[in-house]
Amino acid sequence: MFSDNQLAPYAAQSAQTKGRRFSEPTPSSRSEFQRDRDRIIHSTAFRRLEYKTQVFVNHEGDLFRTRLTHSIEVAQIARSIARNLRLNEDLVEAISLAHDLGHTPFGHAGQDALNACMKDYGGFEHNLQSLRVVDVLEERYASFEGLNLSFEAREGILKHCSLNNARTLGELGLRFIEKKQPSLEAQLTNLADEIAYNNHDIDDGLRSGLLSESQLMEVDCYARFRREVDHTYPGIAGRRAISETIRRMINLLITDLIQTSEQRIADYAPKSIDDVRALPTMIAFSDHMHQEAKVLKQFLYENLYRHYLVNRMSNKAKNTVRELFTLMLAEPGLVPPDYRVSAHDDPQQTQIARARRIADYIAGMTDRFAIREHRRLYQIEEV
């Protein structure tokens, strides 16, 4: 039996997992959460992350973050925080690597477009789709659908969820209804995600030329460290200066998160993961850091995510998703057989099921596949 005995008593313990949807024998040579992570790494959806993006479209450059490299960065940050807090590193790694599996192509633009398309058919939420990928859509095992992950991994993957959807999810949805917390591992991964994307978006924004360093000097936490770097290494410039600045920012955020969370854990004194679920959030930034991160986010929103060149690409991305969806829903004969639905007695139910499968098909596409599929459907020269 695998032991987690260096972990804090309030950490998620593999031996006390709430289990899997389909029960399986306990693994002999790894923990339950290592098994989750291993299943995620071998999944099809995980490989697709390589060609899906967040801010830039995949073909815009080879050095920008993809959802795959983003997920690996989240795992790195989450693991280092988990180790400091004596939380379960295997679980945070599994959650990190799976947290974006349900994302559509083309980042938020794709997600917004697909949600709008699905308005009359139950909507589209990327967190819920990540859960659907690991619960239903992956086809790898003979005895069950999906990856049959542990409750704790699924709980971490489902970061947010509307109340309506929560009611359909049984035990997993309960915390949204009862307003309880997930494990500390889930709370932590959520903030590791934020640390990762805020910082790598600065890096990618500068690399792309859409952001300039002089603009960033208006952001206090960037300016402070940039000056420190200049002072320590006089004459430093270019990529090295940016990199030295960003790594200091990441380090500060991680250190602040560890210290603040340690204090909150000491104050609330949970004895077990059940206590954690019933108490307020314990993984948090200090108020000051939270404020600084907010300023940075606002800066990125105004200057990068809403940059007119990003807007142009997002607009094309939305059109691509919308046109794929609209055409396939109107002409079910164009949908690949795996994603077709046989007709139900009730035509409305048939239409809802059809829309859901088309959403699954589109959400699973990589950026380049979506672009190609759009061409195949709309341009007669393409086959």
Residues that bind Mg ion (CB under 5 A): 100, 193
Half-sphere exposure at residue 189, Cβ-oriented, CA atoms within 13 angstroms: 30
> Shortest Cβ contact with Mg ion: which residue?
193
CB 202, min distance to Mg ion, A: 16
**Is residue 105 a contact partner of residue 366, using CB atoms and an 8 Å limit?**
yes
CB 308, min distance to Mg ion, A: 25
Closest CA to 304 of 55, 10, 48: 55
- Between CA 227 and CA 104 the distance in angstroms is 39
CB 328, min distance to Mg ion, A: 27
Closest CA to 208 of 285, 310, 293, 290: 310
Burial class (CB in 10 A: 0-12, 13-18, 19+), 23: exposed
CB 221, min distance to Mg ion, A: 21
Which C-beta is closer to Mg ion: that of 193 or that of 373?
193
CB 54, min distance to Mg ion, A: 7
- Between CA 315 and CA 324 the distance in angstroms is 14
Structure tokens at 200: 């790598």
DSSP states of 21-37: SS--PPPSSS-HHHHHH
Is the torsion defined by CA of 304, 368, 126, 61 positive or negative? negative
**Is residue 84 a contact partner of residue 256, using CB atoms and an 8 Å limit?**
no
Which C-beta is closer to Mg ion: that of 100 or that of 203?
100
20 secondary structure, DSSP code: B
In degrees to the nearest 10, what's the CA dihedral of 326, 329, 333, 338?
Answer: 110
CB 157, min distance to Mg ion, A: 11
CB 105, min distance to Mg ion, A: 15
Give the three-state DSSP class for 150. Answer: strand
Closest CA to 107 of 206, 238, 7, 197: 197
Q: Given the structure tokens 């993957």, which residue do they identify?
A: 157
CB 337, min distance to Mg ion, A: 32
Which C-beta is closer to Mg ion: that of 193 or that of 367?
193
State how far Cα 155 lies from the chain centre: 13
- Between CA 280 and CA 162 the distance in angstroms is 20
**Is residue 260 a contact partner of residue 254, using CB atoms and an 8 Å limit?**
no
Which C-beta is closer to Mg ion: that of 191 or that of 246?
191
Structure tokens at 250: 């990441």
Which C-beta is closer to Mg ion: that of 57 or that of 265?
57
Which C-beta is closer to Mg ion: that of 107 or that of 173?
107
CB 100, min distance to Mg ion, A: 5
Which C-beta is closer to Mg ion: that of 100 or that of 201?
100
